[in-house]
Structure 1
């Protein structure tokens, strides 16, 4: 009997571990690759903003509060001593960085049924890796990230054309 009583805690812990594994498997909702972002968004339509309007050398700065916008535009102008260069892509887009990526990729301008224009990878508009174009003119454009995480980290970005 002593041998049976000594093994009882082991049996109980083993049963609890097995039950926990079974329950966690039932609740699992993993995709085939958890690192792959599922593209949801909305169907994209042709943009009213031509990609060539973003090609050039830009001073870049960012803000988190709207009250900082004017100061941020001035800071972006000062960044023209080390400009961010946007080139044409081979498929009609522009070559830029995505959040947290060191390599440039071709991004496209995507219109949406609501009239908002997005900048991001080809496909649906308003997905997490996209940026919404808030304003655009010949000398500047402003974007904000669709992803709340990217928006919190990077803020609203102002690009001012360098002469």
Structure 2
């Protein structure tokens, strides 16, 4: 009987310790998200635009994008600080915002969380060009990787 009592007391003590330990732990902090690596002002302007589906076509596509400057894709500043661009499959311009993702990538899309289906990942950014790919695989399959080359850039 004493053995059973001692075993029950130890079990109860272990359970109490586990409960207390569970109460003492805090949930993990949310991930730290830095500011986007690109500003809306960097995207405003006139751009030659072209797209490719195979990485081997990138160099040729950059030249094609520059050739489109005779009818540029215009990115203007949005009314609340974003940029006015088209969403996939949308004819009307929509204000899109730049968002930093917890993965360190810069996203461009409607206001809200970074990395949603309507977003694009912005990469290869410099003063005269940037590249974007859609997060949604169906949009990427249709539209490929987009290359934007600033019109009127000085040749190096």
TM exceeding 0.5: yes
Which residue, 57, 60, 64 being the options, matches 2:49?
Answer: 60
Q: CA 1:145 to 1:44, structure 2 compared with 1: closer, same or farther past 3 Å? A: farther
Is 1:48 aligned to residue 37 of structure 2?
Answer: yes
Structure 2: gaps spanning 5 or more residues: 1-30
Greater Rg by CA: 2
Distance across 1 between alignment mates of 2:81 and 2:37: 14
Is 1:156 aligned to residue 145 of structure 2?
Answer: yes
Please give the secondary structure, in 2, of the residue aligned with 1:91: coil
CA RMSD of aligned residues (A): 1.5
Is 1:106 aligned to residue 95 of structure 2?
Answer: yes
Distance across 1 between alignment mates of 2:79 and 2:33: 20
Aligned to 2:86: 97
Do the aligned partners of 1:108 and 1:121 also contact (CA within 8 Å) in 2? yes
Is 1:124 aligned to residue 122 of structure 2?
Answer: no
Structure 1: gaps spanning 5 or more residues: 1-41
- Write out per-residue CA displacement over residues 1-32 of structure 1, whole angstroms, 9 at most, x where no aligned residue: xxxxxxxxxxxxxxxxxxxxxxxxxxxxxxxx
Do the aligned partners of 2:51 and 2:61 also contact (CA within 8 Å) in 1? yes
CA displacement at 1:136 relative to structure 2: 0.5
Distance across 2 between alignment mates of 1:44 and 1:158: 26
Q: CA 1:103 to 1:44, structure 2 compared with 1: closer, same or farther past 3 Å? A: farther
When normalised by structure 2's length, the TM-score is: 0.75
Do the aligned partners of 1:44 and 1:125 also contact (CA within 8 Å) in 2? no
When normalised by structure 1's length, the TM-score is: 0.72
Please give the secondary structure, in 2, of the residue aligned with 1:77: helix
Please give the secondary structure, in 2, of the residue aligned with 1:46: coil
Which residue, 127, 130, 143 being the options, matches 2:132?
Answer: 143
Aligned residues: 122
Distance across 2 between alignment mates of 1:49 and 1:139: 13
